[in-house]
Structure formats: structure tokens, C-alpha cells
Chain A
Amino acid sequence: MILRLAFRNIVGNGYRSLINVLILAIVLIIMVWMQAMYHSWTRLALIQQTDWEYGKGLLRSKLYDPYDSYTWEDSAVREPEQLKSAIQGGDLVPILISPASIYPKGRMMPAVLRGIPHDQDVLRLPVSGLKAQGKDIIPVLIGQNMAQSSRLEKGDIFSIRIKDSSGVFNALDAEVSDVIHIPAASADMSSVWLDLEALREVKASESLVTYFVMGDARYADHEYENFRHIPKSEYFADFYKMLATERVQQVITYALLIFLAMIAVFDTQALAVFKRRKEIGTLASLGLTKGKISLLFTLEGIYYLLFAAIAGAILGFPLFWYFAQYGFQIPKGYEDFGIQGFTEPIYFVYPMGEIIGLYLLVLCFTALFSWLPTRKITKLSPVDALRGKVD
């Protein structure tokens, strides 16, 4: 009965209801869009980093600190004997890192050489082209970002100066065998990928390795001399920190949006309680308790949200579909910032659990802000209400 009356009142309220529903629907659309963007970006970034750099886990040399380039030169250690068979079987991909200077087109710039077996298939890097062809020139692979900063193109030949394990500088010529799109920015920026054996030869450091990428997660469970397992939580710690910052911004935006929507709901409800005093008095005279009359007004507010959810789904569908189908194109220039997940269009995936959670949150606020003005009803005498008396 109260549900039906609340529904009729909302429908009968005409444009005022429509405006409220539209405001709430717009807020819901923006919130769903933001939530999907955040979720899809996170998801994409994690997939990209996993596919292109992390694999099923990392075993890092204990001497290697990715944040301190001065450690890189001496951080490579010998492959543990116990892992030889896993390496040969392709379950572990050894990667050797070495700082170097490169001389593209006569300029000098610092770079990081990354040696990787040309037959690995754990990471998505297309490294088969790195196999030495018997020439003195070593084929290398670079990402688009590196190509842009070094102005190197496919087929360009440039020199590399590198210190070997005994501290002597060596030089070699390299040819860019391909310039590829590497979505994981950290595997692209300043990086020159080449065959592991070629790098070891130049560095005169047979069987040295900086870290292993695991193709099988079972290697995470054991202790290895000079190597330690890097769990996902540690590897993605910076990313998660960035997400936490984003989360704060997101919460502030949500709070502002909800606040604006709640102003509309509160205003409508307060006005309704004020304007519909006679109706309140009539309902009381018919035998409705004040609690039920308050409930009626609160339900009207909740109906706004239910209508808004439907309107939001209808109005927002083309938008939601477009971003799921064609993705959100990161504005030009953002890919240079090295932000994970910002290197290719973000195809929206809609996290239904989170979206339902958001709806419930807005529902709670709507119920609260619909109820607040109705507290006046409990203080209003039915006689004053029937008279339409104004406080």
C-alpha cells in the first residue's frame, strides 16, 4: 500500500521527479564510468606487466635493486646449479641487465641492455629475431618509446659501449631488428633487448644472470642461493601506491557527486514535506502512523534512485557499450609518462560487484537524505498538518 502510494506520488510529481531522476541517473552514469575506467585500467596494467615482464613470478638477484642503477653493473650472479634444468626446460627465463652507453646517430645516451634467451616463450616479447645471424652486428629489439627517445628506427645500426665483468670497456655494433609496441613501460623505456648469450659474451660473464622470469609458479616456493622470490605484492607495490592515490581522488569525486545528488533529493523531500502537510494530515486521519507516513516519503526518495538506476542503464548503455567495444584512448603524450596501463586503449570491463556496491552506497545515502526531512513529520501534529500550518 505504502509502496504503491509512494510510486504514484513519484509518477504524479511530474517534472520535479524527472529532474531528480535525471540528476541521480547522471551521477550513477559518471560513477559507473569512473569505476569501470579504474577497474579496467588496473586490470590492463596488471595483465600487461604480467605478460611482458613478470610472468608467473620473478627470482631476483639479491644484489639487484631496480631503483638503484648503480647496483646493476655488479648485481648479476651465477645461475644456481639447482635451477639449470628449469632454465634449459624453459620454465625459468634468465635475464641479464647491464647499463651501457649507446651512440645512435652520433649522439650518446645511457641505456639498459637486457639480455634474454632468443627462444624463450614465457614473456610476450617477440625475441626470436634476436638470434645472432653469424654477423658481427648484434640484432637488438627496442620499444616504441625507446625508439622515439633515441630516434632509432628499424634497420638502424648504432654502437654500444659496455663494461665487461673485469671492468674493461667493450664496444659492439647493434642493428635494430624491430621496433615493437611494448605495453609495459618499464620494459620499454631506455631498454635495448638483445640475445642473452650475446650479452654474456660481450660482458665476458658466462652464466651470469640478474633475474629469472618464472614460467611456472612452483619455483616461488623454494630458497635459492643469491636469489629471492619477488611476490606480486612487492613487484606491483608502486602501482598499488599509485592506485591508492587515485582511489582517494576517486572517493572525493564520488563524495562530491553524491553530495550534489543528495542536495537535489533533500531539497525535493523537504519541499514535499512542507507542501504536502494537508496530505500528511489526511493520511494521519485515515489511520496511518507517523512512522508509516515518514516511510512513505522515504520510499519516494528511494524510488528516485530506482528510476535513476533504470534511466542510467538506458541512457548510459551507448556510452558503456562504446568504451567496452572501442576502448578509452589515452590522450596523446600520456604514454611517455611511463604509467602502467596507459600505453594502449583501455577496453572497459564492468565490475558488477563493485557497481552494485556503488548503487547500494548511493541507495543508503538516498534513503538517509530522503528520511532526514521527514523527521519533521514526527513532530507535526495531525491537526496542524490538516490546517496546512507552516512552522
Chain B
Amino acid sequence: MKESIVKIRNMGKAFPTGEGDFWALQNINLDFERGEFSGIVGPSGSGKTTLLNIIGSLDKPSLGDVEVLGQKIQTLNQKKSSILRAKHIGFIFQTYNLLPVYNVYENVEFPLLLLKMDAAKRERMVKDAIEWVGLTDKIKSRPNQLSGGQCQRVAIARAMVKKPDLVLADEPTANLDSENSYKILDTMLKLSEDLGTTFIFSTHDQKVISYLKRIIKLTDGEVSSDDTQTGV
């Protein structure tokens, strides 16, 4: 049996509104194993991104327990959350969120700088990550000199460069055409298999869904189905 790196028990998340609390997530019970390539799917407003944010310790649950790599998210202070993210979690966003003043190399290098790694090792890891996503020839380019697909590949390299245990990808193909979407999905799948990284997607893109080995469907903040796909 594989190691469970994310455990969610009876978790709920409420947001205050003018008319009382709105429960964006309720009764969530999930486990994610190491190396899993899974996704949370559902329509807009179903709570996908909220769930991803809580797993990524960017937000805290209102109820229940969320344990990521043995650390309880609801009890982590701001500093410990930051350390957890810096060391173990990579994020991939729909809008890439690259640092515009940095070139490809520097964007990918940034997470390693937070880990205070020595320069030689850092350089080797950055170059490897850029090679994984096939952007070695764009190493000096700034984000505004790259296409959307290339930017997303830089974002993947940035998320993967520290070889995190967990990568959270929020609608990573939403701004990409089909060709680029398949390219980056291939890249992520390969990296997941090669490095044993757990990927959790939030998506309603069929292209992404077709790659997922496990599909968790959220409806109105609750898990309505949790299926494993075979022969992906």
C-alpha cells in the first residue's frame, strides 16, 4: 500500500456572507497517495480551487482535519505554512503567475533560493528542470517574450524544480490551445512517473480529465464521486 501524503477528514470550509456563512466545502473525506495523478473536477463554484488552496496551506479549513505530509494545516502558523509550501509543495496556476522581471532561468531558480541551496547544485537542478519542459533555448527569455504554452511550461519547471512531494495545478490548461495543453499534460505525467510526485489538478477541461488516473467530482462543495480511471 502506498503512503498517503494528504489526509482530509470531515473537512468543511465556510465563507462569511451578509446572510450568514456560505459553506463552499462540506464533509470532505479524501486521501491522496504518493505519486498519484488525480484531479478534482466540477463546475465553476463547486469548491475545487478552495479545496486545492486548503491542501496547499494557502487557506485553512473551517471544520475538520487536513493533514499534508504529516502536518495539520488547520494548526500551522503563517511561517510553518510558508516552510511547508517552500519545501514540499509546487503550484501551477491558470495564469502562470511568473515573475515578469525575471527570465526563465531566474523564475525556475526562485524556489531553490528559498531553500538556501548551494549555487552549483542549484544551477544543475534549474537546468535539469528547464530541460524537462524543453525550454533550454529560452533560458534567458522573459515571460513577455514567451507564448502561453511556454509560460505554463516555465511554471511547471518552477513547480517541479525542487522535486516537491505534491504539485497542485489549478486549471493549468485553461488558457492554452489543445496542442499546448497536451504537451504540458504529457510533461506533467512524465514528471509524476519519473519523480514520484503527487499531482492534484483542479479542472473542468476534458483534455486534463482524460489524463487523470483518479477523478474526484465535486458538486456544490461535496464529493459526489471518486473514481479511478484505468487505461489512461
Query: B101 near A386 (CB under 8 angstroms)?
Result: no
Q: Does A286 contact B (CB under 8 A)?
A: yes
**A residues near B84, Cβ cutoff 8 Å:** 287
- A290/B78 contact (C-beta < 8 A), A11-B101, A284-B58 known: yes
Chain A interface residues (CB < 8 Å from chain B): 1, 5, 8-9, 11-12, 278-279, 281-282, 284-290, 381-383, 386
Looking at the assembled complex, report how far the CB atom of B106 sits from the nearest CB atom of chain A, in whole angstroms: 8
Query: A279 near B99 (CB under 8 angstroms)?
Result: yes
Report the nearest A residue to B58, measured CB to CB: A382
| Subset of 29 A-B contacts with CB under 8 Å | A1-B110, A1-B113, A5-B99, A5-B110, A8-B101, A8-B102, A12-B100, A282-B93, A282-B99, A284-B58, A284-B85, A285-B56, A285-B58, A285-B85, A285-B97, A286-B110, A287-B82, A287-B86, A287-B111, A288-B82, A288-B86, A288-B114, A290-B78, A381-B59, A382-B58, A382-B59, A383-B58, A383-B59, A386-B93
Q: Does B146 contact A (CB under 8 A)?
A: no
Residue in B58, B78, B111 whose Cβ sees the most chain A Cβ within 10 Å: B58
Looking at the assembled complex, report how far the CB atom of B9 sits from the nearest CB atom of chain A, in whole angstroms: 21
In the complex, per-residue mask of B53-95: 1 if CB is within 8 Å of any chain A CB, else 0: 1001011000000000000000000110011111100010101
**B residues near A286, Cβ cutoff 8 Å:** 85-86, 91, 110-111, 114, 158
Query: B59 near A285 (CB under 8 angstroms)?
Result: no
Looking at the assembled complex, report how far the CB atom of A345 sits from the nearest CB atom of chain B, in whole angstroms: 49
Looking at the assembled complex, report how far the CB atom of A60 sits from the nearest CB atom of chain B, in whole angstroms: 70
Docked pose: A346 CA to B95 CA in angstroms: 62
Docked pose: A211 CA to B59 CA in angstroms: 84
Report the nearest A residue to B110, measured CB to CB: A286
Docked pose: A301 CA to B81 CA in angstroms: 27
**A residues near B58, Cβ cutoff 8 Å:** 281, 284-285, 381-383, 386
Docked pose: A282 CA to B53 CA in angstroms: 12
Docked pose: A288 CA to B93 CA in angstroms: 17
**A residues near B79, Cβ cutoff 8 Å:** 289
Chain B interface residues (CB < 8 Å from chain A): 53, 56, 58-59, 78-79, 82-87, 91, 93, 95, 97, 99-102, 110-111, 113-114, 158
Docked pose: A281 CA to B102 CA in angstroms: 17
Which residue in B53, B82, B85, B111 is a CB contact (below 8 Å) of A383? B53
**B residues near A382, Cβ cutoff 8 Å:** 53, 58-59
Looking at the assembled complex, report how far the CB atom of A344 sits from the nearest CB atom of chain B, in whole angstroms: 53
Query: B114 near A1 (CB under 8 angstroms)?
Result: yes
**A residues near B158, Cβ cutoff 8 Å:** 286
**B residues near A284, Cβ cutoff 8 Å:** 58, 82, 85
Report the nearest B residue to A2, measured CB to CB: B113
Report the nearest A residue to B60, measured CB to CB: A381
- A9/B78 contact (C-beta < 8 A), A1-B113, A285-B91, A381-B59 known: no
Query: B101 near A9 (CB under 8 angstroms)?
Result: yes
**A residues near B87, Cβ cutoff 8 Å:** 287
Supply 9 further A-B pairs (C-beta < 8 A) apart from A286-B91, A289-B78, A290-B78. A1-B114, A5-B102, A278-B97, A284-B58, A285-B85, A285-B93, A286-B114, A381-B58, A381-B59
Docked pose: A188 CA to B93 CA in angstroms: 81
Docked pose: A289 CA to B110 CA in angstroms: 14
Report the nearest B residue to A387, measured CB to CB: B49
Docked pose: A320 CA to B78 CA in angstroms: 50
**B residues near A9, Cβ cutoff 8 Å:** 101
Report the nearest A residue to B54, measured CB to CB: A383
Residue in B56, B97, B158 whose Cβ sees the most chain A Cβ within 10 Å: B97
Looking at the assembled complex, report how far the CB atom of B179 sits from the nearest CB atom of chain A, in whole angstroms: 26
**A residues near B59, Cβ cutoff 8 Å:** 381-383
Residue in B79, B87, B99, B100 whose Cβ sees the most chain A Cβ within 10 Å: B99
Report the nearest B residue to A378, measured CB to CB: B78
Looking at the assembled complex, report how far the CB atom of B185 sits from the nearest CB atom of chain A, in whole angstroms: 21
Query: A12 near B97 (CB under 8 angstroms)?
Result: no
**B residues near A282, Cβ cutoff 8 Å:** 93, 97, 99
Looking at the assembled complex, report how far the CB atom of B53 sits from the nearest CB atom of chain A, in whole angstroms: 5
3 closest cross-chain pairs (CB), A and B: A287-B86, A12-B101, A8-B101
Query: B100 near A287 (CB under 8 angstroms)?
Result: no
Looking at the assembled complex, report how far the CB atom of A256 sits from the nearest CB atom of chain B, in whole angstroms: 34
Docked pose: A191 CA to B78 CA in angstroms: 78
**B residues near A290, Cβ cutoff 8 Å:** 78
**A residues near B113, Cβ cutoff 8 Å:** 1
Report the nearest A residue to B86, measured CB to CB: A287
Query: B102 near A287 (CB under 8 angstroms)?
Result: no
Docked pose: A289 CA to B80 CA in angstroms: 9
**B residues near A8, Cβ cutoff 8 Å:** 101-102
**B residues near A5, Cβ cutoff 8 Å:** 99, 101-102, 110
Looking at the assembled complex, report how far the CB atom of A306 sits from the nearest CB atom of chain B, in whole angstroms: 17
Docked pose: A286 CA to B106 CA in angstroms: 14
Report the nearest B residue to A11, measured CB to CB: B101
**A residues near B83, Cβ cutoff 8 Å:** 287
